[in-house]
Amino acid sequence: MIHSTAIIHPNAIIGAGCEVGPYCVIGEHVTLGEKCKLHSHVVIDGHTRLGQGNEIFPFASIGLKTQDLKWQGGVTRTEIGDHNTFREYVSIHSATSDGGVTVVGSHNHVLAYSHIAHDCQLGSHIIMSNAATLGGHVMVEDHAIISISAVHQFCRVGKFAMIGGCSKVVQDVPPFMIADGNPAETRTINKVGLERNGFSDEVQTALRQAYKIIFREGLTVSNALVKIEAELPALPEVKYLIDFIRASERGICK
């Protein structure tokens, strides 16, 4: 299942059932889990480990040296989970500092021309639409959807959040919300995403009320969170939203 034109370093570890197509290049410190499929012209290098069942399309580049000018050498890693899809021309770069790791979870769908920069931390079940771009040290939580947009370095995108097309994200996107615009603002709850993932009417109602308190009543963020704690049901999703916002270092898209 390895094409004769593929170049694979003898020290690379290739799991059982992998398919490596024409003109792929796999470096010395790469590990591919079982049943990964590299279509053609894929480059995987650096200290990079992929789990099982990942599918990688032509001209994707994974695990290469960071583009960050602060690079001073050392061993940096790229760790990728299971059953991800990386479409054409996707680029995922290794971390910047010695011992650092760029992490991508499992069951993610990363579409053509998307970029995941150094030291990013991605969860699972994420969709990145064509040409979505993550700056360095960005954190994306589970089930987030990122349309074609740019996310600034060190921002966080909360779970079940959605970012609209052509958005410029310079602050954190709260979980369960939709952010859109240039710069991005939080517009409403991600109603369709919550419904599709089985969130109850009670949870959706509480998150909608929380959204109004934070973004529509003109309160400071800290006062809005105190009001939510006092007036809304103590649901896990509401608490998660509060904790996410309180932990923000860049502030939230407001």
Can you list the domains of the chain with their CATH numbers? Answer: 7-137 (2.160.10.10), 195-246 (1.20.1180.10)
Q: What is the pLDDT of residues 112-142, one digit of tens each?
A: 999 999 999 999 999 999 999 999 999 999 9
201 labelled catalytic: no
Amino acid letter at 33? G
For residue 4, count other CB atoms closer than 10 A to its CB.
5
| pLDDT for the residue numbered 183 | 97
Considering Cα of 42, then 39, then 135, then 30, what sign does the dihedral take?
A: negative
| Burial of 69 (C-beta count, 10 Å sphere; 0-12/13-18/19+) | exposed
Phi and psi, residue 104, nearest 5° = -130, 130
Q: What is the mean pLDDT of each run of 10 residues along the chain (254 residues)?
A: 97 98 98 98 98 98 97 97 98 98 98 98 98 98 98 98 98 98 98 97 98 97 98 97 98 96
CB-hemisphere CA count at 13 Å for 208?
10
- Give the helix/strand (H/E) hosting 196: helix 191-196
Catalytic residue among 45, 81, 82, 119: 119
Q: In what order do the strands lie in the sheet with 127-128?
A: 19-20, 37-38, 55-56, 85-86, 109-110, 127-128, 145-146, 162-163, 177-181, 184-189
Catalytic residue among 136, 158, 164, 193: 136
119 labelled catalytic: yes
118 labelled catalytic: yes
| pLDDT for the residue numbered 94 | 98
Catalytic residue among 39, 93, 118, 137: 118
| pLDDT for the residue numbered 226 | 98
